[in-house]
Every structure is written in C-alpha cells, then in structure tokens.
Amino acid sequence: MRYAGTHNFVGARVDGYDKPVCLLTRPAAEALAQVQRDLAASGFGLKVYDCYRPVRAVRHFIRWARDLGDTRTKAEFYPEVDKRHLFALGYIAARSGHSRGSTVDLGLVRLADGSEPDMGTRFDTLGPRSWPGDTRVSAEARRNRALLAAAMRRHGFRPYDREWWHFTLRREPYPATYFDFPVD
C-alpha cells in the first residue's frame, strides 16, 4: 500500500493511511480473487498498490497538487507533466472512486519469483506513457498491460484510460458514497 509510506508522488505518508492495508468492498474483493486465479494459469499474480482511499487522503493529494513549489518527486513520478496541469489532465481528482471502496490500483508479479514484469512505467507515473494505449512503451509492456486489463475486464472491472493500473468494479455497491474512515 504505497500511500502508507513515503515512496509516492506526494513524497510523504498520506493522511488516512495509518497502516499498509488493502480495504475493498466484498464484491470487489471477490472479483479480484477471481482475477488472481485467472492470472495464475499464465504464471502471474497481482501486486496491489492502493485500494480504498479515505476522503482525507484525497484532500491531502489536492493540497500537494496546489503547492506548486513542492516538486521533490517530479523526476520520478511526473517527469513529462507540469504540476499545474495534474487536475486538468485527470491525474488528480477532487473526488476519487477509490473512496467508494471498489477501485483498485495494481500490477502484475511473476509467481515463480515475485518479480515484476515490464509494464512500461512504474505505478503512479503521472503522464501519457502510463496510458494503457500508449505505443511508446515496449511490446512486452503492451502485452503485459493487455493481459492485466483483459483479466480485470473478464471479472467485472473497467479500466481508466490514463493509468494502466487503475480499475473500478462495474457494479460497485456504493456508487454515490465517498467514505472517510482511516485505513487501520
């Protein structure tokens, strides 16, 4: 759970992440377990980076994005994007689907050794290279992105067009509710 630590685009532990725990609604968790079983046949599993996100964490992201002087993490997390445009480009939102409990950020791992295959960018790289359809990434990364997206779609998740790692359960149980309890 990336935001419970400091290695993230904010460069600090994010408000509301008291422990590195993945919380999801039951339907999202059950669908994700099916994805995991599905991918195992190809020798892959899932590495989960973020699940439920408290509203207070979203507010932390907003404060960080508005502080244009804080560019400590630019080289690693948003090298191609001007911080002033993170909202307009859809990388940071005033309301996050994660706060409804059925959105997850994840990637692949090889079951044989736990290594991560090439996905073209690292998780939370904010920029066009992270778009699922970006053709500047390697053929291997495009195959891996497609494998992940196909497995997620088969089990009821829809992708986000700006982040290869971001998926929301299509029939989420709380589509209009934004929770703010801490992750602990």
Domain ranges of the chain: 2-169
Active site residues: 163
Question: Hey, what are 184's tokens?
Answer: 């602990």
Fold of 2-169: Muramoyl-pentapeptide Carboxypeptidase; domain 2 (3.30.1380)
Global model pTM greater than 0.85: yes
Angle at 108 between CA 9 and CA 140, to 5 degrees: 100
37 confidence band (pLDDT: 50, 70, 90): very high
**What is the pLDDT at residue 7?**
96
Q: What is the pLDDT of residues 79-118, one digit of tens each?
A: 999 999 999 999 999 999 999 999 999 999 999 999 999 9
CA distance 20 to 50: 9
β-sheet with 157-160: strand ranges across: 44-50, 103-110, 163-169, 157-160
Residue type, 9: F
What element of type H or E holds 141? helix 139-154
The C-alpha atoms of residue 19 and residue 12 are separated, in whole angstroms, by 14
pLDDT at 150: 98
Average pLDDT on 18-47 reads 97
pLDDT band at 64 (very low <50, low <70, confident <90, very high): very high
CB 178 within 8 A of CB 101: no
pLDDT in tens, 150-180: 999 999 999 999 999 999 999 999 999 999 9
Q: Which of 85, 78, 100, 99 is nearest to 163 (CA)?
A: 78
**C-alpha separations of 63 from 68, 74, 109, 128 in Å:** 10, 16, 33, 23
